[in-house]
Amino acid sequence: MVDNDKKDKGKFNAEAFKHALGMVESSGGKNLDNKTSSAAGKYHFLWNLIKKEPKLKGVTKRQFMNNPDLQEGIMDDALNGGLEGYPG
């Protein structure tokens, strides 16, 4: 019999990773702006590096910071290798 807890230990848990990263970068989405860099949003992506992404066309940094769904979409793209300049 296979213990499912042991079976899944080696798998990457994207939700746990996103939660941990969000806590470290923005206290879970409380601090969405960095005064010393272009970092923005829950995961503090560097706005200067992501602002040309197709999903962000016509979106300002402030609009990005006020849109949790868009932030999640960009993070999901980054994790899946679909964000230019970010390894998956």
pLDDT in tens, 10-45: 899 999 999 999 999 999 999 999 999 999 999 999
Which residue type occupies 50? I
Provide, rounded to the nearest whole percent, the portion of the chain with pLDDT above 90: 77
Residue for token pair 């042991």: 6
Q: What is the dihedral of CA 44, 48, 49, 50, to 10 degrees?
A: 70
The answer to whether the beta carbons of residues 53 and 84 sit under 8 Å apart is yes
Residue for token pair 């999901």: 76
Q: How far apart are CA 41 and CA 62, in angstroms?
A: 9
Task: Give me the pLDDT at residue 10, please.
Answer: 82
Which residue type occupies 83? L
